[in-house]
Copies of this chain bind each other. A is one copy, B any other.
Amino acid sequence: MNIEKFIKNKKIKLTDARISILEKLFAAHRPLSYNDIKEHISMDKATFYRNIIKFQEEGLVSSFESNDKNRYFEITKSPHPHFICTSCNIIECVQEPVVFDLDGYQIEDIILKGKCESCVNVK
């Protein structure tokens, strides 16, 4: 995916800092925290978080809070659930759809917690 194309008709200037964040998120197969990518980007963390907030305001990036007190970010794709392992804290995107409807409520996101394939076989 081309970043200039991705950013089209969003009101965001494409700075070097922003490009490097978006590139990292595009390359990932799962949501990433600031911690996950801070080695691979050069900006100050204030710049990182301020840009992430912009991305979210424009709907380019989504995020959620995990168990480990970190916030995880990913490029906004078609909605899908996420799995968080309560043993190793790994986070995975879930492809299988979870059908669920709660009367009067509008569900936007689903987070499943439990033991991942690796951790379920360890005691």
> CB within 8 Å of B: which residues of A?
64-67, 69, 83, 86, 94, 96, 98, 100, 102, 104-117, 120
Which 6 pairs of residues, A with B, have the shortest CB-CB distance? A109-B113, A108-B114, A106-B115, A111-B111, A107-B114, A104-B117
Determine the residue in chain B with the shortest Cβ distance to A110: B112
- Contacts known (A65-B65, A65-B66); A114 close to B120, Cβ less than 8 A: no
**Cβ B114 vs Cβ A105 within 8 A:** yes
Which chain B residues border A86 with CB–CB below 8 Å? 108-109
A110 cross-chain contacts in B, Cβ below 8 A? 110-113
Q: A65-B67, A65-B69, A67-B65 are in contact. Are A108 and B100 (CB under 8 A)?
A: no
Residues of B within 8 A of A115 (CB): 105-106, 108
Q: Are B96 and A98 in contact (CB under 8 A)?
A: no
Q: Are B104 and A120 in contact (CB under 8 A)?
A: yes
What's the minimum C-beta distance from A102 to chain B, rounded to whole angstroms?
7
Q: How far is the CA of A110 from the CA of B113 in the complex (A)?
A: 6
A-B contact pairs, 13 of them (CB 8 A): A64-B67, A83-B105, A86-B108, A94-B102, A100-B112, A105-B112, A105-B114, A105-B116, A106-B114, A108-B113, A108-B114, A109-B114, A110-B111
